[in-house]
Amino acid sequence: MLTAKLFPLGLWLLQQGEVIAFDPISMWRLMGWPARLVVVLLFVMSAWSIGVMIDRLAFSTARKQSRQFAPLVAGALKDGKIDEAISIADHNKHSHLAKVVGSGLQEFKGGGGVEASRRALERSAAIVHAELKRGIGGLATIGATAPFVGLFGTVVGIINAFQGIAQAKATGLAAVAGGIAEALVATAIGLFVAVPAVWMFNYFTGKVESFDVEMDNSSSELVDYFIKRARQ
């Protein structure tokens, strides 16, 4: 006869005098090696996505420095101080705007002309865009595949449950406990890994698009400035 009792520290199931604890350590012990490999893989995917999220915290630094950089460089260019504007860009190395604007100013100062400066701005914007997107594609991959990896662990757990039934020649909880643990843990971890990855992918993608618009606008304004300077 099966008796179930719910304690504050977890769920304990009693079957024929045998205590089966469904806490993380006990479920890990009940798993077979295929399911354990699935769980380890999911934890590696989670660690990698967390690393990308921490690395992309540089977005906040880029935003902060760009807000400081824009009015300073605008004031310097208004006074015709290109060297000062380049110096300001060099002191804001984490700003996406400073990287783009600085490359265009350097090219124009070197006598490259308006078209050469425009191409320098485009090249720099493409490089900065690639830097901003570093690792974000991996978040999309993890968000899309982690649930399926967890599903694979679930399938393995169900197979293990049927094997337990066949070996024990019984249908009680003791025969299927390991398989149930594998199925539940793999599915839960797969969703736990995928959901934050998808959220952060959408968030970072929106940030990159916003930065792209800012870089395009700054490049256009700088090209207009170069044209006016060339006419003078």
Provide DSSP, 130-179. HHHTTTHHHHHHHHHHHHHHHHHHHHHHHHHHHHHHHHHT--SHHHHHHH
- DSSP letter assigned to residue 31: S
Query: Does 13 map to a domain?
Result: no
The per-residue pLDDT for range 117-172, each reduced to its tens digit, is: 899 999 999 999 998 898 899 999 999 999 999 888 888 878 777 776 776 665 55
- DSSP letter assigned to residue 23: S
> If pLDDT is split at 50, 70 and 90, which confidence band does 187 have?
confident
Q: Check if the beta carbon of residue 180 is closer than 8 Å to that of residue 26.
A: no
Please tell me the predicted confidence (pLDDT) of residue 7: 32
Query: Does 158 map to a domain?
Result: yes
User: Does 176 have pLDDT greater than 50?
Assistant: yes
Taking alpha carbons only, the member of 94, 51, 41 closest to residue 200 is 51
Q: Which residues make beta-bridge pairs with 19?
A: 14
Query: Does 5 map to a domain?
Result: no
Which amino acid type is present at position 173?
L
Structural Rg of the chain based on CA atoms: 29
Query: Does 15 map to a domain?
Result: no
Query: Does 23 map to a domain?
Result: no
In this prediction, what percent of the chain has a pLDDT beyond 70?
78
Can you tell me the distance from the alpha carbon of 12 to that of 29, in angstroms, rounded to the nearest whole number?
16
The residues near 49 (Cβ < 8 Å, ≥ 6 apart) are 138, 139, 142, 193, 196, 197, 200
Query: Pairing relation of β-strands 2-7 and 18-21?
Result: unpaired
Place of tokens 């006419």: 231
Can you tell me the distance from the alpha carbon of 4 to that of 19, in angstroms, rounded to the nearest whole number?
10
User: Does 20 have pLDDT greater than 70?
Assistant: no
Higher pLDDT pick, 163 / 221: 221
Q: Note the pTM of the prediction, 2 decimals.
A: 0.77
* CB-CB neighbours of 8 under 10 Å: 4
Place of tokens 């662990």: 153
> If pLDDT is split at 50, 70 and 90, which confidence band does 42 have?
very high
Place of tokens 């019984």: 170
Query: Does 8 map to a domain?
Result: no
Number of domains within the chain: 1
Helix axes 136-168, 173-231, angle to 10 degrees: 170
- Per-residue b or e along 155-166, where b marks 16 or more CB atoms closer than 10 Å to that residue's CB: bbbebbbeebee
Query: Does 177 map to a domain?
Result: yes
Expressed as residue numbers, the domain containing 67 is 35-232
Query: Does 12 map to a domain?
Result: no
